[in-house]
Amino acid sequence: MSSVRVLVGTRKGAFILTSDEKRANWQVSGPHFAGWEIYHINGSPADPNRLYASQSSGWFGQVIQRSDDGGQTWNPVGNQFAYEGETGTHQWYDGTQHPWGFTRVWNLQPSLDDPDTVYAGVEDAALFKSTDGGQTWRELPGLRSAKGHLWQPGAGGMCLHTILLDPSNPDRIYVAISAAGAFRTDDGGQTWLPINKGLKSDYELPDPDADVGHCVHNLAMHPSRPGVLFMQKHWDVMRSDDAGGLWREVSGNLPSDFGFPIAVHAHEPETVYVVPIKSDSEHYPPEGKLRVYRSRGGSEQWEALTNGLPQKDCYVNVLRSAMAVDRLDSCGIYFGTTGGQVYVSPDSGDHWQPIVHDLPAVLSVEVQTLP
Amino acid sequence: MIRVTLPYHLRLLSKVGSEVSLELEGPVTQRAILDALEARYPMLRGTIRDHQTKERRPFIRFFACGEDWSHEGPDAPLPEAVASGREVFRIVGAMAGG
């Protein structure tokens, strides 16, 4: 019987939630690394027992943990993230130039075919790669050459928060940075192209059509159609059918097109999920109703999914890395909230139930589907 | 023998007990203690001081003999009581965070 392992990063540790394919009864393991912020914990597609976790703290800095047994035991690996060459500067909040400085790892993305190869998206924004299981890290500095001096931090810092690996082309990687935009490499990370044409940032940028500077919150892609990208931007839900060459808005009838995460159904490449949030100054669901919205068939019409979710007095947020899907026949959708709930829908969003109610604020959710 | 204590989270990270004993050769300074500590427990690299600059992380403090040594130079000799092992060199996570 198949099973699922949900990897949850929170403000105060990591939790691992496991269930069989019914996804009705759950075992909770944790907190792992109690007291530390776990921005991301993710598993290798090539070896599901290989996990990587980003553990950080304002006191003690960055630690990377690795497990080779599915999260039962962990060992720290390399935590030195040194920018390559001239460190350079980026735009600061006041418009002046500010030196690049490492703060933390936001995203860990293991290679699709090698458990020892893993990418790390960091703050201040840059992409690092390890080919020795996380022991050593090397920056792919070409990314910061893509007008890095014009990038600026969003409210959460200048973070590289999303990494998508193209399963059909090992040289193609997409990343997203707040507030710089989306970028693509077609040569394994040596050179990068800003892919922000069609984005409109009327309230955030003096030139709303600028090449870079857009506050992209999250990207999603279905592995069977890696040229089709979906984006939750600061405002606007966007879609590109040409690998980011041009974006168009698909916000349609959403009650708010502000939000953080975006996800694609495991078996329906045209079915997309978002969690609308009222606004950038009111980080909670509109009307106090926690609703996931689903668009099917490439439509701009979005359907509210509410069954099992609180529909009154709910003022949690759902952060950008806190939604994921499993690959079981009946696709499961998962998301975590800043109130510490992790919800699952085992039927593509039609019905929801909480797996846990009272974790620390959830920063990230990933799901492994195990044979 | 130098005696060192670590903050709770770093004890967990390095899987050590309440006190670590280190053998040092030469003058007993902050730098010498941290070099020896990181050599024995490589997972502590970057958690007490910066990997490259070797500057103390902002929310880390060094206490010894009832005094705060955090702002002394890394090569300043520490008190004889620390060098002889009578007193503990304390690496402390600063009170911060509300």
Residue B98 lies in a domain: no
Domain count, chain B: 1
Q: Where are the beta strands (DSSP E) in A257-341?
A: 258-264, 272-277, 292-295, 302-305, 323-325, 333-336
- Alpha-carbon dihedral A33, A34, A40, A41, rounded to 10 degrees: 50
Residue B42 lies in a domain: yes
- Domain boundaries in chain A? 36-250
Q: Tell me the per-residue pLDDT of A54-66, one tens digit each, with 9 for 90 and over.
A: 999 999 999 999 9
Q: Tell me the per-residue pLDDT of A189-220, one tens digit each, with 9 for 90 and over.
A: 999 999 999 999 887 888 888 999 999 999 99
- Mean pLDDT (10-residue bins), chain A, 371 residues: 96 98 97 97 98 97 98 98 92 92 97 98 98 98 95 91 98 97 98 97 85 96 98 97 98 97 98 97 97 96 98 98 98 98 98 98 98 92
Q: Residue A94: what pLDDT? A: 87
CB-CB: which of B13, B57, B97 is closest to A63?
B13
CB-CB: which of B13, B46, B57 is closest to A80?
B46
Query: What residue in B sits closest to A78 (Cα-Cα)?
Result: B43
Residue B70 lies in a domain: yes
Amino acid at A160: L
- Residues A37, A24: Cα–Cα separation, whole Å: 28
Which tokens hold the place of A129? 């790669």
Amino acid at B95: M
Domain that holds residue B41: 2-93
Q: Residue B95: what pLDDT? A: 81
B51–A contact, CB cutoff 8 A = yes
Burial class, A11, CB count within 10 angstroms (exposed 0-12 / middle 13-18 / buried 19+): middle
Residue B52 lies in a domain: yes
**Annotation: CATH topology of A36-250:** Methylamine Dehydrogenase; Chain H (2.130.10)
- Residues A45, A367: Cα–Cα separation, whole Å: 11
B9–A contact, CB cutoff 8 A = yes
Q: A61 contacts in B (CB within 8 Å)?
A: 46-47, 57
Mean pLDDT of chain A: 97
Global confidence as pTM: 0.97
Residue B97 — very low, low, confident or very high, per pLDDT cuts 50/70/90? low
CB-CB: which of A35, A59, A62 is closest to B59?
A59
* CATH number where B89 lies: 3.10.20.30
